Amino acid sequence: MYTQFFGNYLINNNLLTLEQLNIALLAQKNTRLKLGILAIDNGFMTEAQINEVHETQTREDKRFGDIAVSKGFLTEAQVTHLLKAQKNAYLLLGQAIVDNGFMTMADFEKHLNEYKETTRIETIDFSNEQNDFLEEVVKRFFSFEGFKSSDMFFEYVAVLFRNLVRFIGSDFTPFAPIKIETVPFSSAISQAIEGDEYIFTGAHGADDQLITFASLFAGETYSNNDEYVKDAMSEFLNLSNGIFCINMSNQSNLDFDLTPPSIYEDKSFNFDCTAYLIPVEFTFGRINFVLADGPVSIS
Amino acid sequence: MDTNDLKIMICDDSILARKKLAENLSSIGFSNICEAKNGIEAIDLYKTEKPNLVFMDITMPEKSGIEALSEIKEFDKNAKIIMASSIISQKHLKSAIEAGAYDFLQKPLSKELIEKTLKKALIKGE
C-alpha cells in the first residue's frame, strides 16, 4: 500500500499526470515482488503451500507471514528475512517512472524524500508488513472529519484497500475522501452494515470500469454492464464488508449484520448525515466508493 | 458411494456465488445440483427435490437463510444444511446452531473447503 499512497502524493502535487502514473503502475505490476514469490525464490515454501496461504487469505484478514507461520510453512526468522527483502519493492514504481522518462532519477529521489518527510513514513515499522502500517498511512492521507467513530472508518478503508489488492489487483491509487451530500450515478451498488453501529457502504462507476472491476473479481470476461456485472460488484462489497465486520467483532467486540446488497441505476444517493466519496483510480479507470454514518435516501 | 446419487441444493442470491459453488461441486464429482436464489425458493425447492445436503447463504432478500433453515428443519428434522456467509457474527452462529444448522462456513468457499465439508457430511455420514 506504500506504492498506492506514493502515487496519490505524486498526483496531488502535480508531479505526474494520472496517465503517466497508470503507465508506470502497469509497468511495475509485472515486476512487483510478492512475499510468496520471495519465499519460493529463497526455497522456503512450495507453490502448493503459497496457494494454501492465498486461499486462506480470501477468508481471513491476516498477513501472509502470519498464516504461513501458523501453518508451519515458515519460521518467524524466515518471515523477517523475506520482509526485509520485500520492503523496498515499492521502488519498482519509481524505477518504472524513471524508465518511462516521466521524471529524472534526481527528481524522483527528491520527491521520494519529500514524501517520506510529509508522511513521516520512515517512522513506521515496515516489519509489520501491512495491517497496522496501512491504517497508519490511511490516517496520514485521509481525513474523516464529522464521523462519530472515525477510527472505525479508518479501519473500514484499510480493509477495503487490502481487499482491492487481494481480489482486484495492486495497480490502483486511492484519492483523498471528498465530503458529499449527494452522489449522482449511472450505476451503483450499496449495502448497509447494521447493529452496534450503522455504516452505509456503496460503489459506483461508469459502465466500462464496472465491467472490468467485476471481470477481475469474478475471474470471468464480461462485456456488458448487465446483471452478472452488478452481481459480481455486489458480491465484492459483501465479502469485503463481511471481513470488516469479523475484524470489528474480534477487535472491538462489536456485533454487526449486513443487509442484502441493492442495485441502482440513474439515481442519486442523498445524505442527511456525514458522508464521503472515496475515488480509487485503477489503471482501467475510476471506481468511487461511498461511506456514510447514517442511512441514505435514493432519488 | 456414487456422488451422482447425491443431490445438492445451493441457495444464494448471488449468481456468481451460485455459479462458483456449482462449478466446484461439479469438479469434485457432484453434478446433481439444484439452485434457489432466496429463502422462499429454497423452502419450496427443498420440499420438491429432497436434496441430501444444502448450502445456504444467510444475507438474502425476501427471506433470510436463517429463516429458511428453521422452516426446512420443521419440515424435515434430518435436513443437512450448511450455512455459508461472508459474515460470521455471534448472533448468526447462535441462531444457526439453535435452528439446527449442520455446519457454518465463511465465504468465499474454496474447492478444498467444500470437499472437506462434503466428505464429513456425506461420505463419512457424521
Q: Do B106 and A242 touch (CB under 8 A)?
A: yes
Per the listing, cell 474447492 goes with: B111
Q: How far is B116 from chain A (nearest CA, A)?
A: 14
Which run of H or E residues covers position A285? Answer: strand A285-292
pLDDT for position B62 = 87
Cβ contact (<8 Å) for B110 and A55?
A: yes
CA atoms within 13 A on the CB side of A280: 27
Contacts of B85 in chain A (CB under 8 A): 242
Q: Which residues of A touch B60 (CB under 8 A)?
A: 260
10 Å CB burial of residue B94 (0-12, 13-18, 19+) is exposed
Closest-CA distance of chain B to residue A255, Å = 6
Q: How many CB atoms sit inside 10 A of residue A67's CB?
A: 18
C-alpha cell at A150: 472515525
Residues of B in contact with A234 (CB under 8 A): 14
Whether the pTM exceeds 0.90: the reply is no
Residue A134 C-alpha cell reads as: 496501512
The pLDDT of residue B89 is 79
Q: The C-alpha cell of A62 is what?
A: 491476516
Could you tell me if A168 lies within 8 Å of chain B, comparing CB atoms? Answer: no
Q: What is the pLDDT of residues B78-111, one digit of tens each?
A: 999 999 999 887 788 888 999 999 999 999 898 8
A22 phi-psi bin (left φ>0, alpha ψ -120 to 50, beta other): alpha
Backbone angles phi, psi at B54, to 5 degrees: -125, 135
Residue A106: what residue type? A
Query: What is the predicted ipTM?
Result: 0.88
Q: Does B117 touch chain A (CB under 8 A)?
A: no
Phi-psi region of B90 (alpha: psi -120 to 50; beta: other; left: phi over 0): alpha
The label of the residue with cell 454492464 reads: A225
| Cβ pair A249:B89 closer than 8 A | yes
pLDDT tens, residue by residue, A177-206: 999 999 999 999 999 999 999 999 999 999
CA distance B126 to B124: 6
CA-CA distance, A96 to A26, in Å (whole number)?
9
Out of A55, A228, A260, closest to residue B60 by CB? A260
Q: What's the pLDDT score for residue B125?
A: 56
Write down how long chain A is.
299
Pick among B86, B90, B117 to test the A interface (most A CBs inside 10 A): B86
Q: Find the helix packing angle between A227-252 and A150-167, rounded to 10°.
A: 130
Quick check: B87 and A259 CB within 8 A?
no
Say what the pLDDT of residue B43 is.
Answer: 96
Which of A249-253's residues contact partners 24+ apart within 8 Å by CB, and which partners?
Answer: A249/B89, A249/B90, A251/A155, A252/A152
Residues 32-61 of A with CB under 8 A from B: 52, 55, 58-59
Chain A residue with the nearest C-alpha to that of B15:
A231
* Contacts with A216 (C-beta within 8 Å, 6 or more apart), sequence order: A167, A168, A169
Three-state secondary structure readout of A211-259: HHHHHHHHCCCCCCCCHHHHHHHHHHHHHHHHHHHHHHHHHHCCCEEEC
- Contact between A203 and A156 under an 8 Å Cβ cutoff? The reply is no
Cell of A58: 480470501
DSSP one-letter code for A113: H
CA contacts within 13 A on the Cβ side of B19: 10
Burial A186-211 (b: 16+ CB within 10 A, else e): ebbbbbbbebebebbbbbbbeeebbb
Q: Do A249 and B86 touch (CB under 8 A)?
A: no
Determine whether A72 is exposed, middle or buried from the number of CB atoms within 10 Å of its CB (0-12, 13-18, 19+). Answer: exposed
Quickly count: other Cβ atoms within 10 Å of residue A132's Cβ: 13
Grid cell 452522489 in the structure block, residue: A183
**Residue at grid coordinates 473500514:** A156
Per-residue pLDDT tens listing for chain A (299 residues): 667 778 888 888 888 888 888 888 887 766 656 677 778 777 888 888 888 898 888 888 888 889 999 999 999 888 888 877 665 556 677 777 888 888 887 788 788 788 777 766 554 443 444 455 677 778 878 889 999 888 899 999 999 998 998 899 877 888 889 999 999 999 999 999 999 999 999 999 999 999 999 999 999 999 999 999 999 999 999 999 999 998 888 888 888 999 999 999 999 999 999 999 999 999 899 999 999 999 999 99
Q: Buried b vs exposed e over A144-171: b needs ≥16 C-beta within 10 Å?
A: beebebbebbbbbbbbbbbbbebbbbbb
Q: Which chain B residues in 33-92 lie under 8 Å from chain A, judged by CB atoms? A: 59-61, 85-92
Q: What is the pLDDT of residue A298?
A: 93
Contact B96, B69 (CB under 8 A): yes
Residue-wise DSSP of B73-87: HHH-TT--EEEEES-
